[in-house]
Amino acid sequence: MAEREVDRSVSQTVKAQLALRDQILSGALRPGERISELQAVETTGASRTPVRMALVRLEEEGLLEAIPSGGFMVKAFSERDISDSIELRGTLEGLAARFAAERGVSARELEPLKECLAAIDELLRQVPISVDAFSSYVTLNARFHALLTELSRSPPVIRQIDRASALPFASPSAFVMAQSALTEAQQILIIAQEHHRVVIDAIENREGARAEAIMREHARLAVRNLRLALRNRTHLDLLPALALIKTATD
Amino acid sequence: MAEREVDRSVSQTVKAQLALRDQILSGALRPGERISELQAVETTGASRTPVRMALVRLEEEGLLEAIPSGGFMVKAFSERDISDSIELRGTLEGLAARFAAERGVSARELEPLKECLAAIDELLRQVPISVDAFSSYVTLNARFHALLTELSRSPPVIRQIDRASALPFASPSAFVMAQSALTEAQQILIIAQEHHRVVIDAIENREGARAEAIMREHARLAVRNLRLALRNRTHLDLLPALALIKTATD
DNA sequence: TCTCGCGCTATTGTATACATAACGTATTCA
DNA sequence: TGAATACGTTATGTATACAATAGCGCGAGA
C-alpha cells in the first residue's frame, strides 16, 4: 500500500471500480467467471461495502452481469455484440450531429471543433505516421467526438452517448492503436478525418440528414478496424478489451 | 408494515428502489431536492446499505443526480429534455427495426407481433374508445414495443433501449393515458396502430430504411402526446412523471 | 454592521459483524 | 452402484457502528 496519496484523495468506491475494471480488461478476471466479493476485497484493498458499490456500477456500465442467485460475473461479448455496440454509438452520434445541425450552432461553438480538426490535419501530414502520432490521434479523436456530442446541447443524448461509449470496445478510438503498424491503417485515418471535416461542414450548413449519415458511416470505420484487428492478431496486446470477446470455442 | 409477504420475497434493495422511485414520481421528493439517506431509511423500512444501493441504481437509471460533495438529488427535466428522450428512444427503436429488417426475421418470430397487432385492432374497433380500452392499449402497446425490440436480436441494442425507456416519460406509452378524454387522442391511436402495421410490413419485406423511418416517426407521436398533455392540463393526475418537469419559473 | 474564523452538527463514506441462502459433498438407502 | 437427502461450509444480503468531511451557525473583531 504505497499509494497513500491515492488512498486518501479518491473514494474507496472509485478506487475499487478502477481496480476491478483493470482486472476485467486485462483478462485477470475471465468472462463468465463469477466475481468473488471477498477476493475483490483482497485485490482492491477496499472493504466489502465500496466493492459492492463498484460492482453495481460496473454492472450498469455493462462490463458485469448479475447472477440470478446473487453476485456478478464478467460479461462475455461476441464479435457481433461489439460491432453492434459500435453501430449503436454511431447511430447516437448521428442523432447528436443531426440535432446540432438542425438546431444551429454558433461559429464560436464550432471553434474548438475546427481547432481539433486542424490539429489532426497536422498529425496526418507526416507520412508514414509514427506510433506517437497514432497515440496523439487517439487523444484528439476522443476530444473531437466529445465536443461533437456536446454540440447537440441535449443532456439526454449526451448522457446516452457517454453510456454507449463506456464499453471500452465501443469508444471512438477503441481499435485505432491496434493496427498502427498496418499501412491500411493510415488510409483509414485519412478517411476518418474526411468524415470529421464533412460533419462539421454539414452542421455549419444545417444539413441534418447529411450530418447524421456521415457519423453513421464514420462508426463503420471502427467496425472495419475491429475486423482488421481480429484478423491481424499481431498487436493484440494493445487491445485490453479483447479479453472480453468470446470465441466460438469458448 | 403489513406487507410481510413482500418483505420476505424480494430483496430490501429492490424494495427500497421501488419505494424511492414511487416517491420521486409521485412528487413526494421534489426535483432538485437532496435525498437524505436517513429519511429514505425511515420511509422505505430498509437499512442504509440497501438504500444506498437503490440510490446508485436510480442514479444510473437517470432519475437521480450525484451531488459532487456527496449524496444524490432528484433530477429535474425540461420539456425539451423529455422530448429529446422520446426522440432518442425512437432512434434506438428505429435501429432495432432496421436490424430486424436487414437481418431477416422468420414468420414464427413475427407471429406474436401480429397477434399483438390484431389485439390492438380489436380494441380500436369500438368508437368512442373507452377508458378501459385505453388502459388495455397501454399494456398491448408496451408488449408490442418490447417484442419489436427483441426482433433486433442484438443484446446491446436491446439493453440500450431498455435503459432509454426506463425514464418514465420516455417509455412508449407514457402520455397515452393523459388525454383519454380528448377526441384527438383516438385519432392518434389509430395513426400509431398504422405505424405498427407498417413496421411489421417493412420488416417482413426486409425494407430496413422504411422500418427505421417509421419507428422514428412513431416516436414523434409520443412527443405530440406530450405537448397535448402539457397544454390540456385536465388529466395531469394520470401523469406521475410530470412531477419531474421543471418549468421556467422554477 | 459586516466579515472572517472557529466550532459544532449532521450527513455521507467506510468497515465489520451477523444472518440467511445456496452450493457442494458425503453418506445412506434403495 | 446410483441417486437423493442432509449437513456443513462459504458466499452474499443486511444491519449497524464508527470515522471523516462538509455545511452551517454563531461569535468576535475590525
Provide the pLDDT for residue A227: 87
B82 Cα to chain A: minimum distance (Å): 8
Strand C: which bases are under 7 Å from protein Cβ?
11-17, 21-23
The predicted pLDDT at position A239 comes to 66
For residue B229, what pLDDT is reported?
82
Counting residues of chain A whose pLDDT is more than 90, the rounded percentage is: 67
Asked whether residue A83 carries a pLDDT value surpassing 70, the answer given is yes
Q: In B 51-70, which Cβ lie closer than 7 Å to strand D?
A: 53, 69-70
Q: What phi and psi, each to the nearest 5 degrees, are found at residue B28?
A: -65, -35
From the list B57, B80, B154, which residue is nearest A84 (CB)? B154
Q: Is A19 exposed, middle or buried (0-12, 13-18, 19+ CB in 10 A)?
A: middle
Predicted confidence (pLDDT) per residue in B82-128, tens digit: 999 999 999 999 999 999 999 999 999 999 999 999 999 999 998 77
Predicted local confidence at residue A7, as pLDDT: 42
Specify the pLDDT at position B86. 97
Residues of A in contact with B87 (CB under 8 A): 95
pLDDT over 50 (residue B3) = no
Specify the pLDDT at position A163.
95
CA distance B224 to B219: 9
Which of the four pLDDT bands, split at 50, 70 and 90, describes residue A41? very high
Over residues A189-218, mean pLDDT: 97
Residue of A nearest to B53 (CA): A53
- Single out the residue of A157, A155, A209 nearest to residue B160, CA to CA: A157
Q: What is the per-residue pLDDT for B11?
A: 84
- Please report where in the chains the cell 466479493 appears, as a residue: A37
Hey, CA dihedral for A194, A199, A202, A204, is it positive or negative? negative
Check B52 against A57: CB less than 8 A apart.
no
In terms of Cβ atoms closer than 10 Å to its own Cβ (0-12, 13-18, 19+), residue A120 is: buried
pLDDT classification of B218: cutoffs 50, 70, 90: very high
Task: Of A155-159, A230-234, B87-91, give the lowest mean pLDDT range.
Answer: A230-234
**Does the pLDDT value for residue B249 go beyond 70?**
no
When pLDDT is averaged across residues B222-232 and rounded to a whole number, the result is 85
Is the pLDDT confidence value at A3 over 50?
A: no
Q: Judge if the beta carbon of A70 is closer than 7 A to nucleic acid strand D.
A: yes
- Cα A199 from Cα A193, distance rounded (Å): 10
Indicate if CB(B46) is under 7 A from strand D.
yes
Distances B151 to B98, B99, B111, B119, B220 between C-alpha atoms, Å: 10, 8, 11, 19, 21
Give me the residue label for grid cell 402495421. Answer: B197
> Who contacts A88 (Cβ-Cβ below 8 Å, separation ≥6)?
A164, A170, B92, B95, B156, B157, B160
